[in-house]
């Protein structure tokens, strides 16, 4: 019976790729369901107050974050599509070494990009509906939440990797 030294990395890669796919499917599904529900509400439907923290109300964003690049739908579609390809390619490349936190982060960013890409391709705008009441902040959606949380997860994961590598290098120098 031979033991392949790469077997743990192969298992990790498989685990990471499965986690990536499951998170993407679930997040895109949740994003689509919420957007379809809000888009389907009757015109003039009142906003839903959630504990005075957020208000749920339909908004159409013809741009990107904070309505920047408004009216540049085709350019945003192309850029988002390219970024999604880069993210999934990177995720596949690092899946043997990446932590679960990094894969979760990449999956959330990718899923958020896909969710907003679908909106832009189908509607020509992004469906937003979450409006914070405690801060002056643009209305956003589940996809945007995934992108933001995913970026934070990736930054934390890469920071941990850097600190671990620095600690290991220091240990090797002392030895």
| Interval 4-63: pLDDT, tens | 556 688 899 999 999 999 999 999 999 999 999 999 988 778 899 999 999 999 999 987
Q: Is residue 1 part of a domain?
A: no
Categorize the per-residue pLDDT at 91 as very low, low, confident or very high, splitting at 50, 70 and 90.
very high
Q: Is residue 92 part of a domain?
A: yes
Active site (catalytic) residues: 128, 144
Q: Is residue 74 part of a domain?
A: yes
Is the CA virtual torsion 69, 75, 80, 82 positive or negative?
negative
Q: Is residue 2 part of a domain?
A: no
- In 113-152, which positions are buried (b, 16+ CB within 10 angstroms) versus exposed (e)? bbbbbbbbeeeebbbbbbbeeeeeeebbbbbbbbbebbee
Q: Is residue 146 part of a domain?
A: yes
How many domains are there within the chain?
A: 1
Per-residue model confidence (pLDDT) at position 3: 47
Q: Is residue 122 part of a domain?
A: yes
Is the full-model pTM beyond 0.85?
A: yes
State residue 124 phi and psi, 5-degree precision. Answer: 85, 5
Owning domain of residue 161: 9-42+49-174
């Amino acid at each position: 019976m031979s033991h392949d030294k790469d077997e743990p990395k192969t298992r990790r890669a498989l685990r990471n790729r499965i986690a990536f796919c499951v998170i993407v499917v679930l997040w895109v599904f949740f994003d689509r369901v919420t957007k379809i529900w809000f888009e389907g509400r009757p015109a003039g439907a009142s906003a839903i107050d959630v504990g005075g923290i957020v208000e749920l109300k339909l908004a159409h964003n013809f741009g990107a974050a904070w309505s920047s690049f408004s009216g540049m739908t085709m350019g945003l579609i192309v850029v988002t599509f390219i970024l999604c390809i880069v993210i999934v390619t990177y995720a596949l490349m690092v899946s043997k070494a990446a932590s679960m936190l990094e894969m979760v982060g990449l999956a959330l960013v990718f899923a958020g990009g896909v969710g907003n890409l679908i909106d832009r391709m189908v509607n020509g705008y992004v469906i937003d509906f979450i409006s914070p009441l405690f801060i002056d902040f643009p209305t956003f959606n589940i996809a945007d939440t995934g992108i933001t949380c995913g970026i934070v997860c990736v930054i934390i994961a890469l920071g941990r990797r850097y600190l671990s590598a620095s600690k290991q290098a220091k240990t090797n120098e002392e030895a």
